[in-house]
Amino acid sequence: MEVYSHHPSINHPVKRRTFLKSLPVFAATPLALSAMPTPSPARSRQLIALGTAACRSVAKDGEKLNFDSFTLIDGELPSQVNVHAKFFRFIPPEYLYEPYEHVRFLKKKPLPILPIPQDIETHLRTLEGDLVFLAGLGRATGTLLFQSLGLHYRNHTQGLEWLATMPFAFEGIYSRKNADQAINLLAENRRERTSLCLQEIPHRYGNLALRSAYEKADEWVIEVLGS
């Protein structure tokens, strides 16, 4: 900093140094602060679980995750929920199933794109920050919600992320076709998406019992969400 004065005593080298030492320290502080970048506030993060597999995973392990809110969308609320979550009931249309005695089987046809239920859309629009949608793909509820929201839901004030698990090989070829369709639809619409291929689990850990395989899948999902 240069100091100039018409007074000869201040321009004298020794007295000039004395003068500079006498300046208040805080006089330079605003300049220093203005040169430092201002940290941007952290954005809120909201997790929306779509379908049975995703809802059960979040209901069980959501407390391990750093999200500001949890939303569960499925046909039934999980029996045990360890986090405070908003629940919305969504039941796939009856025409998607083929009844056989007392059991219903999902028809072996491509799953449709459905309109977003108004109560779900209204809720999503009240959320702030980044919305992370999680679904286990292959079966009806999670796949229908994932691809329908992925194509229809838009909000320029929110960041939207899509995380899905692709089914194990033992879940059948039609489950895989449903999952591929949903992922491809989001890709065609330039949605930011991440997919976890569950068939990698037996490759990593060998042959596992069914329950153990799904537990490993839950662990993988929670690990990815936590990162």
- For residue 24, being part of any structural domain is answered with no
- For residue 23, being part of any structural domain is answered with no
Report how many domains make up the chain.
Answer: 1
**Helix ranges restricted to H, the chain:** 8-11, 13-21, 29-35, 52-61, 118-126, 140-152, 173-188, 200-205, 210-226
Q: What is the pLDDT of residues 126-179, one digit of tens each?
A: 999 999 999 999 999 999 999 999 999 999 999 999 999 999 999 999 999 999
Which 8-state DSSP code applies to residue 198?
Answer: T
- For residue 38, being part of any structural domain is answered with no
Alpha-carbon span 182 to 119, nearest angstrom? 23
Residue scoring higher pLDDT (27 or 137): 137
- For residue 29, being part of any structural domain is answered with no
Q: What is the pLDDT of residues 38-47, one digit of tens each?
A: 555 678 999 9
pLDDT for 39 equals 52
- For residue 32, being part of any structural domain is answered with no
CATH number at residue 81: 3.40.50.1440
pLDDT for 227 equals 82
Tell me the average pLDDT across 21-31.
41
Residue scoring higher pLDDT (169 or 10): 169
Alpha-carbon span 110 to 217, nearest angstrom? 25
Rounded to the nearest angstrom, the gap between the alpha carbon of residue 53 and the centroid of all alpha carbons in its chain is 16
pLDDT for 42 equals 78
- For residue 15, being part of any structural domain is answered with no
* pLDDT greater than 80 at residue 28: no
What pTM, to 2 d.p., does this model score?
A: 0.80
Task: Find where tokens 């007074």 sit.
Answer: 7
Residue scoring higher pLDDT (102 or 51): 51
Residue scoring higher pLDDT (115 or 17): 115
Tell me the average pLDDT across 186-190.
91
- For residue 118, being part of any structural domain is answered with yes
* pLDDT greater than 80 at residue 9: no
* pLDDT greater than 50 at residue 197: yes
**Residue 189 region, left (φ>0) first, then alpha (ψ -120 to 50), else beta?**
alpha
* Domain that residue 183 falls in: 45-226
- For residue 214, being part of any structural domain is answered with yes
Max distance between CA atoms of the chain, in angstroms, equals 108
Q: What is the pLDDT of residues 72-117, one digit of tens each?
A: 999 999 999 999 999 999 999 999 999 888 888 999 999 999 999 9
N-term to C-term CA, the chain: 46
pLDDT for 192 equals 82
